A and B are shown apart, each in its own frame.
Chain A
Amino acid sequence: MIGINNIGCHIASERISNFEKAEKHGVTHDFIMEKIGIVSVARKKSSEKASDLCALAYTDLLARLKESALDDIEFLCVCTQNGDYQLPQISSILQSKLGISKKCAAFDISLGCSGYVYSLHIAKSFMESCGFKRGLLFTSDPYSEIIDLNDKNTDLLFGDGATATMLAENAVFDLGKGVFETDGKMFEHLIKCNNKKLVMNGRGIFNFAMLYVPDVVSQCLNANALNKEDIDLFLLHQASKYIIDNLCKRMKLDMGKVPFLIKEYGNTVSSSIPIVLRDYLSKSDKKTILICGFGVGLSIASSILRRR
């Protein structure tokens, strides 16, 4: 059975202080600390593209695997909505850039913050149906390319990062049953129209999160025959401190079980869950983890990770 074997990540090294932008955006330092919960956002170099961030995450993955190259990868997919080009898919660019075998299935998945959970399920099903042994799932959505620097809703929130998840039979985590929902009526709440910048209706996203996350999390627990108490970690999409705090309150979760770890680099879209998950791979006391991504679409996905 295919599961998560390891995760590499790259968070862009330049940091832009949100405190230095507080006056420009008309917000207080307290608002940045207590509500957004992000003191600086990670910014990639302007010359770097999504595939470059993936390549750096892959380098981190190789270091964690203690391997210099992977010559047996049969599957490669990238979850992004900000690829290097409108076409082709960046998975092809990445296959070449990383020196992965040509005998490799490669495609992109177009999803935002729910993308990692979706992509895990797609990758697992695809690999198992084809009998593949090792595959790579990347997330990379550099929003700095589409943010309006005068828009406080997004400029103070999003950071650039990428992840590379090794999927293999010898896994650390197995994937449980997933629950997926979509509310396309709300698509305009997070949208980038052609030749324009990203626009986010913060109220729409907040309402979506409060209405959908508790219900989908509950459905996911039921689908996997689990109770809240069985979960060692609720790894929710790292949207903002305010959303995480209010979801904790609404679902009556122990805040100690709900990490919010993006203070120094920001919301990295589909990379937010795997970046945090990477740090829990070696923490053997976290046996059962619920993951839940929600955003662009508007779309939500939740699943369970069980430690082998």
Chain B
Amino acid sequence: MPKVTHEDVIDIIKKTGVKLDWKKLDNNESLADQGVDSLDMINIIFAFQEKYGIEITDESISDGEWLTIDKMTSNLKKALPKKQEN
């Protein structure tokens, strides 16, 4: 399993300039509930795609697979081997 940590994910999110209360960040709570709006979410997903060279589908987003830091980290771990196979 490739190494993608919470810290990696948080670092990418920070670089997008999204405003969050980083001290109170909860990895299991949806980012939307922690104040991230829909446009910032688009920006965050774009940053993941660009950083890891992967495709993230609209369906997986609407299915709630990218709502929390935990889910993001886990999905990035899963997506990377698939990319390496291709």
When the two chains form their complex, are residues A249 and B17 in contact, meaning their CB atoms are under 8 A apart?
A: yes
When the two chains form their complex, are residues B39 and A202 in contact, meaning their CB atoms are under 8 A apart?
A: yes
- Closest approach, in angstroms, between the C-beta of B46 and any C-beta of chain A? 6
Of A35, A207, A210, A249, which is within 8 A of B39 by CB?
A: A35
CB neighbours of A280 from chain B (8 A):
none
**How long is the Cα–Cα vector from A210 to B38 in the complex, in angstroms?**
17
- Closest approach, in angstroms, between the C-beta of A204 and any C-beta of chain B? 8
- Closest approach, in angstroms, between the C-beta of B33 and any C-beta of chain A? 14
Which of chain B's residues 57-75 have a Cβ closer than 8 Å to chain A? Answer: 58, 61
Kindly report which residue of chain B lies nearest to residue A36, judged by CB atoms.
B39
Q: Is B45 an interface position by the 8 A CB rule?
A: yes
- Closest approach, in angstroms, between the C-beta of B69 and any C-beta of chain A? 20
Kindly report which residue of chain B lies nearest to residue A210, judged by CB atoms.
B46
When the two chains form their complex, are residues B46 and A207 in contact, meaning their CB atoms are under 8 A apart?
A: yes
When the two chains form their complex, are residues B37 and A203 in contact, meaning their CB atoms are under 8 A apart?
A: no
CB neighbours of A35 from chain B (8 A):
37, 39
CB neighbours of A201 from chain B (8 A):
58
When the two chains form their complex, are residues A202 and B42 in contact, meaning their CB atoms are under 8 A apart?
A: yes
Q: Is A126 an interface position by the 8 A CB rule?
A: no
Of B37, B42, B46, B58, which is within 8 A of A31 by CB?
A: B37
Which of chain A's residues 29-45 have a Cβ closer than 8 Å to chain B? Answer: 31, 35
CB neighbours of B61 from chain A (8 A):
203
CB neighbours of A202 from chain B (8 A):
38-39, 42
When the two chains form their complex, are residues B17 and A203 in contact, meaning their CB atoms are under 8 A apart?
A: no
When the two chains form their complex, are residues B43 and A246 in contact, meaning their CB atoms are under 8 A apart?
A: yes
CB neighbours of A249 from chain B (8 A):
17
Kindly report which residue of chain B lies nearest to residue A202, judged by CB atoms.
B42
- Closest approach, in angstroms, between the C-beta of B51 and any C-beta of chain A? 13
**How long is the Cα–Cα vector from A201 to B38 in the complex, in angstroms?**
12
- Closest approach, in angstroms, between the C-beta of A267 and any C-beta of chain B? 15
**Given known contacts A31-B39, A207-B42, what 12 new A-B pairs fall within 8 Å (CB)?**
A31-B37, A35-B39, A201-B58, A202-B39, A202-B42, A203-B45, A203-B58, A206-B39, A206-B46, A207-B46, A210-B46, A249-B17
Q: Which 6 A-B pairs have the closest CB atoms?
A: A203-B42, A242-B39, A206-B42, A35-B39, A207-B46, A31-B37
- 24 cross-chain CB contacts under 8 A: A31-B37, A31-B39, A35-B37, A35-B39, A201-B58, A202-B38, A202-B39, A202-B42, A203-B42, A203-B45, A203-B46, A203-B58, A203-B61, A206-B39, A206-B42, A206-B43, A206-B46, A207-B42, A207-B46, A207-B49, A210-B46, A242-B39, A246-B43, A249-B17
Task: Report A's interface with B, CB cutoff 8 A.
Answer: 31, 35, 201-203, 206-207, 210, 242, 246, 249
Task: Report B's interface with A, CB cutoff 8 A.
Answer: 17, 37-39, 42-43, 45-46, 49, 58, 61
